[in-house]
């Protein structure tokens, strides 16, 4: 069986993320590779061993010594579309207005994180998230993470619940080279509470 590896990442309850180097481009998300095996030897009538005759191949089939084809597997949670209730419901004027407010809030929150203004960034969490996550835990979850905020992507809201794509640059460790930048997309969930957008704790 070919070796496998798993994506390693840890999300804090406050939406912070601590990433491992294997996360960057989903390099471990590869389909298994079928390895050609040599046919076992079959004893002959004279006592000597001779290679077994392999089954005929169909026309157009690849040779056994051809390079294996590696097909990347799309990871769930990466590049997912924005909010979709399964009915492709058009956005209402209220949804569109909330999308603008959420985009501004998400952008400001990440600017606060980049500036280490933890209290202001923490204030964007929902009241229930702040009730279960301390400011110190929130800070530890984000401080020193090997990511650099780049931009806010798609924002979509339906019925006061919003999906936000956040683009980062992740610093990946590369053997014998050092480090290299790689793109990383984070999916955040926001919701409106009394008309104000808040980041939900399960985001990431």
**What count of other Cβ atoms lies within 10 Å of the Cβ of residue 167?**
13
Question: Any idea where the domains of the chain sit in the sequence?
Answer: 1-204
Two structure tokens written together for 54: 């392999």
Cα angle value 177/181/183 (rounded, 5°):
145
Q: What are the residue ranges in the chain where pLDDT is below 50?
A: 1-42, 49-81, 86-87, 204
DSSP 8-state code for residue 14: T
Q: Give me the residue label for tokens 């994180």.
A: 113
| pTM score, whole prediction | 0.56
Chain segment 110-169, per-residue pLDDT in tens: 999 999 999 999 999 999 999 999 999 999 999 988 888 999 999 999 999 999 999 999
Residue 172: per-residue pLDDT: 84
Residue 110 phi, psi dihedral angles, 5° rounding: -70, -30
CATH fit for domain 1-204, picks 3.40.190.10, 3.40.50.620, 3.30.420.10, 3.10.450.50: 3.10.450.50
Residue 107: per-residue pLDDT: 97
Cα angle value 39/43/49 (rounded, 5°):
75
Q: Give me the residue label for tokens 């392999």.
A: 54
Q: Which residues contact 134 (CB under 8 A, 6 or more apart)?
A: none
Residue 7: per-residue pLDDT: 40
Q: Is 199 helix (H, G, I), strand (E, B) or coil?
A: strand
């Amino acid at each position: 069986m070919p070796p496998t590896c798993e994506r390693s990442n840890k999300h804090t309850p406050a939406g912070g993320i601590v990433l491992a180097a294997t996360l960057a481009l989903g390099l471990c998300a590869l389909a298994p590779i079928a390895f050609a095996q040599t046919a076992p030897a079959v004893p002959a009538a004279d006592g000597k061993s001779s290679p077994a005759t392999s089954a005929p191949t169909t026309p157009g089939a690849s040779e056994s010594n051809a390079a294996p084809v590696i097909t990347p597997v799309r990871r769930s949670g990466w590049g997912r579309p924005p909010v979709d209730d399964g009915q492709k419901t058009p956005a209402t004027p209220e949804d569109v207005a909330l999308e603008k407010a959420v985009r501004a809030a998400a952008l400001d929150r990440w600017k606060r994180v980049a500036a280490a203004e933890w209290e202001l960034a923490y204030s964007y969490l929902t009241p229930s998230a702040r009730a279960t996550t301390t400011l110190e835990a929130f800070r530890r979850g984000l401080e020193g993470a090997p990511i650099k905020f780049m931009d806010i992507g798609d924002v979509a809201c339906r019925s006061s619940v919003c999906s936000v794509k956040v683009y980062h640059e992740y610093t990946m460790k590369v053997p014998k080279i050092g480090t290299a930048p790689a793109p990383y997309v984070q999916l955040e969930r926001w919701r409106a509470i009394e008309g104000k957008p808040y980041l939900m704790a399960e985001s990431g």
